[in-house]
Amino acid sequence: MPRKPHKRKEAICHQRRIEVAALIVGGFTYRQIAKKLSTSIATISRDYEKIQEEWKRELNSQDIQAWRILELAKLSVMEQAIAAKVRAGDILAIRQQLSLMKYRAELLGLYAAIRHEVSGKVEMASGARDLSRVPQADLEQALAEVDRILGKEEG
């Protein structure tokens, strides 16, 4: 009998995660989702992490690339929303922009290599990605996205 509330809680969490996923795909922020679902931002963040873990397990490599493209598109929308504040020098907006840039770099696998001198040899830090192994199409897509964003900011 004690397991019944546990199963009920799991069902409630599962239903909330479905709603969170739909709202995130719809472009809502964590704060907006938390307010809409009457829960904390931390709960939404944890739910989204769980959603991503589940999606990643279910996805094949093509789906992962589509997910990455969707995430990059969402980042572009967020960057455009704060662009004016960043240009005006708003410190909070600049921090948000830097956070978005870091996440974009992680999605694209573009970590800056950290070099260590060991007996005259240069080694890449663990976690750094060798860009020569990134598919050419992915690099071209990333550059096209950067060009598109820069073109919009200039215009």
Assign 8 a pLDDT band (cuts: 50, 70, 90): confident
Task: Tell which residue, 107, 108, 81, has the closest CA to residue 92.
Answer: 81
| 95: its two tokens | 């921090």
Please write down the long-range contacts of 58-65, taking CB distance under 8 Å and 24 or more positions apart: 65/138
Rounded percentage of the chain residues whose pLDDT exceeds 70: 70
**pLDDT greater than 90 at residue 40:** yes
**Which pTM value belongs to this model?**
0.39
Radius of gyration, CA atoms only, the chain: 20
Task: Tell which residue, 88, 135, 84, has the closest CA to residue 108.
Answer: 135
Q: Give the pLDDT of residue 91.
A: 92
DSSP 8-state assignment for residue 52: H
pLDDT digits (tens, 9 = 90+) for 80-130: 999 999 899 899 999 999 999 988 888 887 865 555 454 544 444 444 455
| 109: its two tokens | 């696998």
